[in-house]
Structure 1
Amino acid sequence: MPPPLPEALIQFQRLIDVVRELRHPERGCPWDLQQTPTTLIPYVLEEAYEVVHALQEGDTGAIAEELGDLLLQVVLQSQLAQEADQFTLAQVIQGISDKLIRRHPHVFGEVALTTAQEVRDQWEQIKASEKGSEEAVPLSQKLQRYARTLPPLMAGMKIGERASRAGLDWPTISGAWQKFYEELAEFQEALLQGNAAQQTAELGDLLFSVINLARWCQLDPINALQQTYQRFIQRLECIEAAIDRPLETYTLEELEALWQQAKIQLATDSQPTETPTDPHPEEA
């Protein structure tokens, strides 16, 4: 008798069977039967962001649930592709497994590496050799792929990193700061001119300069912005809990005072509580 399959494989096969049944031409779900690879794109993005949020919150139950929702998108896309005779889920899994083994010769081969940077450099070298003629592709086309396929902030980081590796970067962070102040002045000037197209262009330049500063400081602008959103919402929740009439009936000065109170309250609440020490431990 062969050994029993691990529980994860059993449950994975169950998920595959469930998705296949949802797509059954006669017994399937009408909503699932209407879906195409492109109609499911919003759900792929939504589930990926919800996984990120759950990870940031550290809620293990939510993390497990959201990873399941994201896994569903992988299985569902693979089912649609199989129905169209394009590829199968088995090919997807085999492809990523082969890639991981191929790009980790220091784990699955004889190469000796000791630092994360060495691993990253090796990964890029192997990736470049796999692409073959990809090296002949102009840098602009590679960056265009980031701009087309990634969310704007992530694309900005990727474009900046790739351009930097090609030598398109300042020698020190002072150049990035100088560029930021230059773009800020140009944006302010554009606002005075009243040309919406120019204002939009200068705003984009300013945002890209901030992203480049984040890259130089090794900070994640996506995480930083998400934290700002969360702080804003928390402060608003604090204000709403303290008032007794609609927000719009308060003056700007009153709202500012409430806002500052909320900031102080949240900062106080976030401080770790100290366990009082026994002034006479010898008497215990």
Structure 2
Amino acid sequence: MTSNSASSSPIPVHGDTLTALQQLIEVVAQLRSPEGGCPWDLEQTPQTLIPYIVEEAYETIAAIRSGQTEAIAEELGDLLLQVVLQAQIAGERGDFTLEGVARGITEKLIRRHPHVFGDVEAQTIDEVRQSWEQIKAAEKGETGKTPRLSTKLDRHARTLPPLMAAIKISQKAAGVGFEWENIDGVWEKFHEELAEFQQALEHETKKRQEEELGDLLFVITNLARWAHLDPSAALQGSSQRFVERFSWLESAIDRPISDCTLEEFEVLWRAAKASLAKSSKISD
């Protein structure tokens, strides 16, 4: 990972790639054109497109996990569209351009990898990480002073998906000693928060109920952390199993599912769990 002449400058991008990117830029510009553009695209703002950015990011992740190369390429394209569309709208407002976005991230990558594009040596991943943090601190004017941990925690809370943020925040806090002595303390806190949530549901306002639910979920993520489990992966797995069982249930009946009684649902659900569990064991 030391610097060398072969890696002292960025690898050039193939002309066909630049042509394809330019075509995408022009298509998006036409979609946003007041003359002959698309009414839906013309109505969009950076704020209205936020849900699509999140959706496309998660769909890209799902495609990568599936290992299906065609799906990965397609979802990366959908995600790239969101980047180009945001830059197009910003350009129309005179805020920034896609060129500026690309130039900015390129300069940042070169600046933060002096062991590749400069004369700094970094032999291990830890050395690379340490160099990255030092450069990042210098960029933010934080060199020579210890940044407040709460500033980092606040950034996690505002920018990461909720479950990921909860794990990151609790990990960082634990790293400076703000931690239970053992998992028994986490379980005690869980039961405390569960009781408070139940109390809020019975006697408090919606706002208080939401706050207590958040506290309960935060403790659950800490239980996952202590058990070295990924709560996001666990919840995603549960959602997928629910869908599989519901699909089995729908296939097992010959009438509209809304006509089923609660008792029938219970019987079918147990059958679905047993059948899918058996199939899983056979495939394993």
Specify if TM > 0.5.
yes
Tell me by how many angstroms 1:97 deviates. 2.0
Unpaired runs of 5+ residues, structure 2, are 1-11
Cross-structure match for 1:203: 213
Tell me by how many angstroms 1:156 deviates. 2.0
Unpaired runs of 5+ residues, structure 1, are 275-284
Number of residue equivalences: 270
Cross-structure match for 2:169: 159
DSSP 3-state at the match of 1:132: coil
C-alpha distance in 2 between matches for 1:76 and 1:34: 12
Residue number among 84, 99, 108 corresponding to 1:99 in the alignment: 108
Tell me by how many angstroms 1:71 deviates. 0.1
Residue number among 200, 206, 219 corresponding to 2:229 in the alignment: 219
CA displacement 1:61-91 (0-9 Å, x = unmatched): 2221111011011011112222222222122
Identity %: 58
| Range with bigger deviation, 102-111 or 75-84 | 102-111
| Range with bigger deviation, 176-185 or 57-66 | 176-185
CA displacement 1:174-219 (0-9 Å, x = unmatched): 443443233234334445x522454433221110011122234443
Q: Any residues of structure 2 matched to 1:256-271 within 5 Å, and which?
A: 256-271=266-281
Give 1:132's aligned amino acid: G
C-alpha distance in 2 between matches for 1:217 and 1:98: 40
Q: Tell me, yes or no, if the aligned pair for 2:115 and 2:122 is still in contact at 8 Å.
A: yes
Cross-structure match for 1:281: none
Do structure 1's residue 83 and structure 2's residue 101 form an aligned pair?
no
Tell me by how many angstroms 1:35 deviates. 2.2
C-alpha distance in 1 between matches for 2:67 and 2:228: 23
Cross-structure match for 1:232: 242
DSSP 3-state at the match of 2:141: helix
Distance verdict in 2 for CA 1:108–1:264, change over 3 Å: farther
C-alpha distance in 2 between matches for 1:177 and 1:113: 42
Distance verdict in 2 for CA 1:225–1:121, change over 3 Å: farther
Give 1:181's aligned amino acid: H
Cross-structure match for 1:277: none
| Range with bigger deviation, 235-244 or 174-183 | 174-183
User: TM-score with structure 2 length normalisation?
Assistant: 0.80
Cross-structure match for 1:70: 79
Distance verdict in 2 for CA 1:144–1:112, change over 3 Å: closer
Distance verdict in 2 for CA 1:267–1:18, change over 3 Å: same
Cross-structure match for 1:182: 192
The Cα RMSD (Å) is: 3.0
Q: 1 or 2 for the larger relative contact order (CA 8 Å, sep ≥6)?
A: 2
Q: Any residues of structure 2 matched to 1:124-163 within 5 Å, and which?
A: 124-133=133-142, 138-163=148-173
Distance verdict in 2 for CA 1:17–1:144, change over 3 Å: same
Give 1:52's aligned amino acid: I
Tell me by how many angstroms 1:241 deviates. 0.7
CA displacement 1:79-111 (0-9 Å, x = unmatched): 222222222212211222222233334444433
C-alpha distance in 2 between matches for 1:261 and 1:118: 54
Distance verdict in 2 for CA 1:105–1:221, change over 3 Å: farther
Cross-structure match for 2:32: 23
Distance verdict in 2 for CA 1:24–1:188, change over 3 Å: closer
